[in-house]
Amino acid sequence: MVTAHSTSRIGLLTGHSLAALMRERTVALLGLLFLILVIVSAYLGWSATSTVNAIYLRSAEYMSAQGQTLPPNPVLDTSPLALLRNMATYVSLIGALAAIVIGHQLMSAERKAGTMPLLGSRPMRPADLGIAKSLALIVAIAALVIFAALINTATFLALPEFRLDAIGWLKLAAFYGASGLYLLVFGFLGLWFGASAKSETVGLLIPVTIWLTLTFVLPQITSNINPVAALNPVSALAEPPASAFFQITGWALGSLSLAEAYRIISAQLLDFLPANYIDRAAIPAAVSLFVAALGFAGLAARAIGRMDMTKGDYDA
Amino acid sequence: MRELIQPVLTIAGKDIRDALKDRFILLMTAFLLVASLVALTVAAIALKADVATYIEAKAGLIALGKDAASIPDPAFYPLKLLRGFVEHVEIIGAIIGILIGYRAAASERGRQTLALIVTRPIAQWQFLAGKVLAGTAIISAGLIIAFIVAGIAVTVISGVALSVDDIGRLAIVMSAAGLYAVAFFLLGFVCALWARKLPNALLLAFTVWLSFVLIAPQIGDTLDPDNQVAGGVFKQLQIAKPQQIEILQSFSTYETIRNGIEVASPTKHFERLSFAVLGIKDTYAGQPLMPILAEKSSDLVWLLAIALALSLLLFVRRLDPNRLSKE
């Protein structure tokens, strides 16, 4: 049962963890890079869409001169939300890496500072530390996502030609909810290894290797998406060749391919999912992300609960 | 001369022995091999599916009365199967380079032996040259294994023996991959040698990796108008190649900026060279090697220049005594 005392302790630990996190320059650097890319993403979407429109107009002149029939302008089929299609890529690249670093840093800072034995000597349940660190992680990731959402909202307000209706705004909000959930998966992964790894470097490198596998290796097995194609929001949604192999791997491993699950959800919410795209995974993409976030949160809580509170540093 | 070289070789030998004990470097190299084999197997399965589609379409056309002799057979280039492998080398190979470079400095700082080394009768360049030599040897050994495995896998999967020309092309790409990974080794080494806090060095190197290996090529690729519409904008508009070129002339400034972003990345130079030499890019498939090398020599020069610039940075700056410990 959570008492008023333990709530106050958790609040104190959460606040302290966030204050320590904000002092970390590398976390600030990654956070800043993410926010710069949020702005770049909106510019890229606008620039690329405008260029395709200009190419269409130029092509239309040429085709009219040749007496050819004009096909419809592909830009007119594009939703204004698709302007932000690159956001899905940046969230899964820099956002996920920043989330790993935040999760890792929340535990490693405590271990390096030698404060674990001190925390162990306080009247505190092992679960309190886990809850406080998880709350700090959720607040830090929510801050990143809210900043990104504010920048993108300002972008839409500044570009009247890309006007959103009520459903559009709701979809945009849902996209940021999904992005937050995806980042939490990696944040909890970083927290788990930040608490359980024997060395600081290994605690950082194992989550990065898992992220590499999820982002570049699994999509290749399930959908024949090459690593570089996985970086392009449009190419990454190409249909796999008609083969029993991809039907089976897509069904069996698709639920584990979290980067793909997030990409599908993003494409649905930002209106750039091809009409004929079929998600072959056994479990719906949103459920995969929920289960992964809950699973990693559980593993992180278990690792924090099992930490030896008599040990100061990694080597101690 | 022997007196000058011996300390370099001693440090290199010690560093290689230490690196081989580092399970994470071995694990990442194994990860590259597994990812490469996955890429090759998946490419072969995708090719088999394409061949089945072709046979089905051909049968359909013959059934409609088309002369079988007039339907061209598709050309098959086994080295094209290496696309995913090359892309994994671009991404994971760079990380392995960073990790080996980071370990080369971190191992000394962690054991507090760096301060001891600078008190010995050994020049700074000898110490650094020993570390660079060891890093280059470890990277080369890993890449040689990866490329041999990839070459054998291509032969087994495709059922076509690689020719001497194919092996030569693989050797060229392997050398370029070595140069590329050494550039990232130097980045990891410089960061870990100079950073105030060691884990920050790794994060800084990863941020540079993320920016130049993933983000810069991604921006260039995304800005390509043909990648904005599923299947390609010109394909959707049904415009032939000569007219595409003519239309795109009106967008030369845009294309220059887009290309400029791409070439800021060493990864793109390695990719352009590799895809051309291996014939992965359609325009180079089946073309003789020498003209391709002549055309792509600038990419090789870029890789060399990046590695040399980082080496210069490493050797010119003096070791800071305040950066010789773990923290």
pLDDT in tens, B208-234: 998 899 988 888 887 777 776 666 777
For the ranges A30-34, A79-83, B46-50, B160-164, the lowest mean pLDDT is seen at B46-50
Residue pair A56/A74 in contact (Cβ under 8 Å)? The answer is yes
Contact A52 B271 (CB under 8 A): no
What residues in B contact A201, CB-CB < 8 Å?
24, 102, 106, 198-199, 202
What residues in A contact B221, CB-CB < 8 Å?
228, 231-232, 235
State the virtual CA torsion across A141, A143, A148, A149 in degrees, nearest 10: 110
Chain segment B55-104, per-residue pLDDT in tens: 888 888 888 888 877 777 777 788 888 999 999 999 999 999 999 999 88
Residue pair B252/A77 in contact (Cβ under 8 Å)? The answer is no
Q: pLDDT confidence of A149, banded at 50, 70, 90?
A: very high
Q: What are A315's two structure tokens?
A: 């080597």
Q: Is B77 helix (H, G, I), strand (E, B) or coil?
A: coil
Contact B228 A97 (CB under 8 A): no
Q: Above pLDDT 90, what percent of chain B?
A: 39
Average pLDDT over residues A208-228: 88
Complex ipTM: 0.81
pLDDT at A227: 86
User: Which of A25, A227, A241 minimises the CB distance to B46?
Assistant: A241
Q: Above pLDDT 70, what percent of chain B?
A: 96
pLDDT at B323: 64
Angle B23-63/B94-110 helices, nearest 10 degrees? 180
- Residue B49 makes CB contacts below 8 A (sequence gap 6+) with A241, A242, A243, A245, A246
pLDDT at B269: 95
pLDDT at A34: 87
CA distance B111 to A227: 37
CA distance B3 to B123: 11
Mutate to test the interface with A, among B214, B249, B325 (most CBs of A within 10 A): B214
- Higher model confidence: residue B169 or residue B240? B169
Residue pair A260/A222 in contact (Cβ under 8 Å)? The answer is yes
Which helix (H) or strand (E) segment holds residue A109: the answer is: helix A96-113
CB atoms within 10 A of CB A137: 28
Q: Is B232 helix (H, G, I), strand (E, B) or coil?
A: coil
Q: pLDDT confidence of A38, banded at 50, 70, 90?
A: confident
Residue pair A241/B46 in contact (Cβ under 8 Å)? The answer is yes
CB atoms within 10 A of CB A256: 18
What residues in B contact A275, CB-CB < 8 Å?
none
> How many domains does chain B divide into?
1
C-alpha pair distances (Å), B263 with each of B94, B252, B298: 17, 16, 11
Does any CB of chain B come closer than 8 Å to the CB of residue A247? no
Contact A49 B83 (CB under 8 A): no
- Domain range for A300: 4-305
For the ranges A97-101, A227-231, B66-70, the lowest mean pLDDT is seen at B66-70
Q: Is residue A95 part of a domain?
A: yes
Contact A238 B230 (CB under 8 A): yes
User: Which of A74, A101, A234 minimises the CB distance to B236?
Assistant: A74
pLDDT at B166: 92
User: Which of B27, B84, B215 minimises the CB distance to A37?
Assistant: B215
Average pLDDT over residues A192-202: 88
* Residue A127 pLDDT exceeds 60: yes
pLDDT at B190: 93
Average pLDDT over residues B295-315: 94
Does any CB of chain B come closer than 8 Å to the CB of residue A238? yes
pLDDT at A210: 93
pLDDT, mean over chain A: 86
CA distance B189 to B314: 8
Mutate to test the interface with B, among A30, A231, A270, A313 (most CBs of B within 10 A): A231
User: Which of B49, B198, B202 minimises the CB distance to A241?
Assistant: B49
Q: Is residue A195 part of a domain?
A: yes
Average pLDDT over residues A29-52: 83
> How many domains does chain A divide into?
1
* DSSP state for residue B79 in the 8-state scheme: G
What residues in A contact B227, CB-CB < 8 Å?
232, 234-235
* Residue B256 pLDDT exceeds 80: yes
Average pLDDT over residues A230-250: 83
pLDDT at A316: 44
User: Which of A37, A59, A201 minimises the CB distance to B202?
Assistant: A201
Instruction: Map tokens 């935040």 to a residue.
Output: A102
Average pLDDT over residues B126-143: 93
Residue pair A124/A210 in contact (Cβ under 8 Å)? The answer is no
CA distance A226 to A98: 24
Task: Annotate B251-264 with three-state secondary structure.
Answer: HHHHHHHHHHHHHC
Contact B222 A48 (CB under 8 A): yes
**Sign (positive/negative) of CA torsion A284, A287, A292, A295?**
negative
Angle B216-223/B252-263 helices, nearest 10 degrees? 160
What residues in A contact B233, CB-CB < 8 Å?
52, 55-56, 74
**Sign (positive/negative) of CA torsion B298, B304, B310, B316?**
negative
- Residue A194 makes CB contacts below 8 A (sequence gap 6+) with A103, A104, A105, A106, A107, A108, A111, A203
pLDDT at B322: 64
A189-202: string of b/e by CB count within 10 Å (b at 16+)? bbbbbbbbbeebbe
Query: In chain A, what is the straight-line distance between the N-terminal and C-terminal CA atoms, in Å?
Result: 33
- Domain range for B152: 2-323
Q: pLDDT confidence of A142, banded at 50, 70, 90?
A: very high
What residues in A contact B246, CB-CB < 8 Å?
62
Average pLDDT over residues A231-260: 85
- Higher model confidence: residue A297 or residue B120? A297
Q: Which amino acid is at A22?
A: M
Q: Is residue A237 part of a domain?
A: yes
Q: Above pLDDT 70, what percent of chain A?
A: 97
